[in-house]
Amino acid sequence: MTDAELVARAVAGDVGAFEDLVARHHAACLRFAAHMLGDRIEAEDVVQETLLRAYRSLGTYQERQQFRPWLFRILVNRCRTAAGRAHARRLRTAVELTPGAAIVRDATDGFELRSRLSRAMEGLDAVHREAFVLKLGEGLEYEEIARITGASVPALKMRVKRARDQIRARWEELEHDERR
Amino acid sequence: MNGDDRWDDDVRVAYQLPIEGEEQARNRAIRRLRSESVTRRRGMGAWWVDPDALRMPPALAAACVLAVLVIGAWSGAAWMATRGGRAPLLSIATLPSGSTAVTFVFRAPGATRVSLVGDFNGWDPDATPLARATTGEIWTAQIPLEHGLHAYAFVIDGRDWEPDPSAPLAPVATFGRRNSLLVVGEDQAL
C-alpha cells in the first residue's frame, strides 16, 4: 500500500493506517533529528511531537503532496524550535553527550564512521547542518529540500557546499588522527 | 568513482547507520499516538475534538476566552457558594499575544496534593504538581502549552481523577476516566 493510500485511510479515521506510516518513516525521522540536535533523547521527543502534529494535521494534507516531504517539513520546523528553545542546550554531537546513545556499538566500523561524522559536524550551524543532512544524508533533490525548508535552491546549494567543505576538512583531519 | 563521490558515499553510510533503540522509540511513539487518537475519534461529535474545525483570528479567540472566563468565574463562584465539597473551580488560559502560558486553577478543600495530568506531560501524576494558594483550598499551576487541542484532568491525593467542569469533556473516556479539553491559541500553520 502506498503512503498516499495509507494517508487516505488515516484521514478516514483508521489509526492503524497512520501507525503503518509511522513504522515506515520513524527511523528516518529519528536519524535526521539525532543528527540535527545531537541528542538522542531530545531527538525522540521531537519526533514524537512531529508525528502527533502530523496526525492532528492530516486534514490539511493535500493528496498531490508526497507524505515524506510533508512529514519532513514538520520535522524540520520542530527541530528548529527545539534547537532554539530558551532552555535548549547548544547543538552538540552524539559523541559529546550520553556516549553510545546515538551511536551503534555493534559494528566497529559503523561506530567509527558515525563518531567521525558527528565530530566533523561539530560547530556547524543549524542552517548549514540542515541543508547538508537533507542533501547528503537523506539524498533529497534540491527542489525537494527547498519545499521542506522554505529556502531557495541557489541558497541551498551554497549552504551544502560550505557545509561539505567544512565537514570534509574536519573529517580528513580526524581520519588522519585515527590512522596515527 | 572519484574522491568526492567516495567521500559522499562514506558520509551517507555513516549517516544512515541505524540509531540504537529506534524500535523501542518507534513503539513509544505509536503508544503515544494511540492515546492521542482516543480524543480524536471521528464520527458523531468529531467537530468538538477536531483542531482544524474552528479557525478564528487571535484577537477574536482571546476575546472569546476572556468572555468564557468571566462567565465561568462568576457562575463557578456562585455555584461553589452553594456547595462546600471538593470540586474543580476554573482553569484559566492566559493568552497575551504569542504566549502559550496556561494557568490551571483547581479548588480542592481538604486535599493534600493536587496534580495536573494531560497529553502534554504523558499523563504522569508526578510531572505537574499544583501549588497550594494561601487560601488553602485553591491550587494553581502555570505551564507552557503548545497551540492546539489538549486533553487533561486533575488528580487529587494521587488517586481521585477529576475532569474540569468548566471545560468541555472529551467525548471518549480513557480507561473509564473522563478528561477535559482545552484549545490553546490559534492553529499554527505548518
pLDDT tens for the 190 residues of chain B, in order: 566 778 888 888 888 888 878 888 899 988 888 877 655 554 444 545 555 555 567 777 788 788 877 777 766 665 555 554 444 444 444 444 555 778 888 888 788 889 998 888 888 888 899 988 766 778 888 888 887 778 888 888 888 888 886 777 776 655 567 788 887 775 433 2
Same domain, A4 and A80: yes
Put simply, whether A168 touches B (Cβ < 8 Å) is yes
Name the residue range of residue A41's domain: 1-87
**Cell digits of residue A105:** 556499538
Whether A65 and chain B come into contact, CB under 8 Å, resolves to no
* B residues 40..69 contacting A (CB < 8 A): 40-43, 50-52
Residues 145-184 of chain B whose Cβ lies under 8 A from any Cβ of chain A = 146, 148-149
Is A47 found in the same domain as A18?
yes
| Last-in-domain residue among A87, A117, A134 | A87
A121 with A149, same domain: the answer is: yes
Q: Name the residue ranges covered by the structural domains of chain B.
A: 3-38, 46-184
Question: How many angstroms separate the CA atoms of B44 and A126, rounded?
Answer: 44
Q: Cβ(B53)–Cβ(B47) under 8 Å?
A: yes
Q: Are A94 and A42 in contact (CB under 8 A)?
A: no
Give me the CATH number covering residue A42: 1.10.1740.10
| Total domains in the fold of chain A | 2
ipTM of the complex: 0.80
How far CA A126 is from CA of A15, A68, A147, A163, B165, in Å, comes to 34, 21, 17, 10, 44
> What torsion do the CA atoms of B4, A72, A159, A128 make, to the nearest 10 degrees?
-100
A95, part of any domain: no
Residue at a domain's end among A52, A87, A122 = A87
Q: Are residues A112 and A172 in the same domain?
A: yes
| A64 domain residue, yes or no | yes
Cα–Cα dist B59/A91, whole Å: 36
User: Which residue from A35, A40, A44 is facing B15, i.e. has the nearest CB?
Assistant: A35
Mark whether A141 and A82 lie in a shared domain: no
Q: Based on the domain organization, do A1 and A83 belong to the same domain?
A: yes
Asked if residue A124 is part of any domain, the answer here is yes
DSSP class of residue B61 equals H
B46-184, what's its fold? Immunoglobulin-like (2.60.40)
- Alpha-carbon distance of A111 to A178, in angstroms, equals 13
